[in-house]
Amino acid sequence: MIHGNATTPSEDAPVFTAELTPYRSLGRRGFKMFFLIAGLLSLVHGLVFLIIGAWPVVFFFGLDYLLLFGAFWLNNRSGLSREEVRVSRTDVSVRKFTPSGQISEHRFNPFWARLNVARHQEIGIVSMTISGGGRRTDIGSFLNRDDRETFALALSGALATVRRR
């Protein structure tokens, strides 16, 4: 995307911007509904086993529920990570945000920056890195196959556009 006035282009105006986020199929509401239903099922089955006298089984239903909740919570938390990629005539910037809120930023000269794409014959793109000036950073590792293809095409096109100007 090109921002700025066409007659007086700014050197630092972004030619390309993207925010990469991991896909999560279960939103906050779905998460609550799933665990409400799972909790009710565990409670009902636990009560049945308690009534027939197999009370030690009740602890396992509770442990299963806690482990399931912990796994889904960790999955949703990892969904908070994201990456912001910005390409301008003077800079290629990759900002990475961790789920805990830590930010790391990697900057490259757009004329030296290279998008390195590792492909597998059957799978497609398996990894992407941006390198330049003796440094490199991985990018979009959490994207699905189709999104990696789309992003790689868009980013390589933006780098080519910057180099042509």
* pLDDT, mean of residues 29-33: 90
Above 70 in pLDDT, residue 8? no
Per-residue confidence (pLDDT) for residue 158, from 0 to 100: 92
Q: pLDDT confidence of 9, banded at 50, 70, 90? A: low
What is the side-by-side order of every strand in the sheet holding 92-97?
A: 14-20, 82-88, 92-97, 103-108
pLDDT of residue 67: 95
CA 100 and chain centroid, separation: 14
Query: In this structure, are residues 20 and 82 in contact, taking their beta carbons and an 8 Å threshold?
Result: yes
**Per-residue pLDDT for 146 more than 80?**
yes
pTM of the model: 0.75
CB 88 within 8 A of CB 76: no
What was the pLDDT predicted at 23? 86
- Helices first, then strands: H and E counts in the chain: 3, 7
Looking at every residue in the chain, the average pLDDT score rounds to 88
| CB 92 within 8 Å of CB 159 | yes
Instruction: Tell me whether residue 35 is exposed, middle or buried, using C-beta atoms within 10 angstroms of its C-beta: 0 to 12, 13 to 18, 19 or more.
Output: middle
Residue scoring higher pLDDT (28 or 87) = 87
Amino acid at position 66, single letter? L
The confidence score (pLDDT) of residue 26 equals 82
Q: Is the dihedral of CA 30, 37, 81, 154 positive or negative?
A: negative
